[in-house]
Amino acid sequence: MATSKCPTSNPIYARIISMHFVVGHHAPMVAAKYQAHNATLLQNNIEASIKFWLKSGAPASKLVLGLPLYGRTFTLAVTSKTTPGSPSAGPGLAGPYTGGAGSLGYNELCEKQLSGNWTTVWYEEQKVPYAYSGDQWIGFDNEKSLAIKIKYAKKLGLAGIMFWSIETDDFRGNCGCGPYPLLKASRRALHSTPNSRDVQENVPDVQD
């Protein structure tokens, strides 16, 4: 029987998780201190990825920044340890729509948050949010983190942004912010001016 050559999961994500068994955000803006011991983890962020392509000769005008409308989930090994870099026992539980262990669409997460049993934290060091409930942990993006990333893309003069993927936004508006809250917030950030109230957060300096 022929074996498919197509990967069934994100190979970079799988390698990092299998090597380190810790919870962490899949698309942070910058590196975190807990990653300092590992060169691979230090590159697992937007700033490092974009700088790699620019230093390798790719023109900014041909780079498009991908933004996730889903989160990566983990099962906590110790429920009292919830900060990024804490021990993981494996992927998180599958969601009702996406149906795969280790990830949830933003729509699945925000519906879970309506139960009131989830704690959401803004992780300033990497400028992204995460949430946890019991032994379940998820790193995800919200309006604030997406605006920061979009401002960074504009600051570097990148060609644009793209999303993976629009059906995992809260397209029905079940969570109280109207349909497509992430897409709408991203559009505002994309068309904002430098002094706009929609994008007030600092982003990393553009350095060589």
> Of the ranges 42-56, 76-90, 170-184, 185-199, which one carries the lowest mean pLDDT score?
185-199
Whole-number pLDDT of residue 17: 43
What are the helix (H) ranges across 100-167? 106-113, 143-156
Q: What pLDDT, on the 0 to 100 scale, is given for residue 194? A: 72
Task: Please give the span between the terminal C-alpha atoms of the chain, in angstroms, as a whole number.
Answer: 50
Say whether pLDDT at 65 is over 60: yes
pTM: 0.85
Give the domains, in start order, of the chain with CATH numbers: 11-190 (3.10.50.10)
pLDDT in tens, 103-158: 999 999 999 999 889 999 999 999 999 999 999 999 999 999 999 999 999 999 99
- pLDDT at residue number 181: 98
- Sort 85 into a burial class: Cβ within 10 Å, 0-12 / 13-18 / 19+: middle
Whole-angstrom distance, CA of residue 24 vs CA of residue 39: 15
User: How confident is residue 193, by pLDDT bands cut at 50, 70 and 90?
Assistant: confident
The pLDDT > 70 percentage for the chain reads 84
pLDDT for 49 equals 97
One-letter amino acid for residue 73 of the chain? T
The pLDDT assigned to 115 comes to 86
Write the DSSP symbol of residue 22: B
**pLDDT the model gives residue 19:** 43
**Given a cut of 50, is residue 46 above it in pLDDT?**
yes
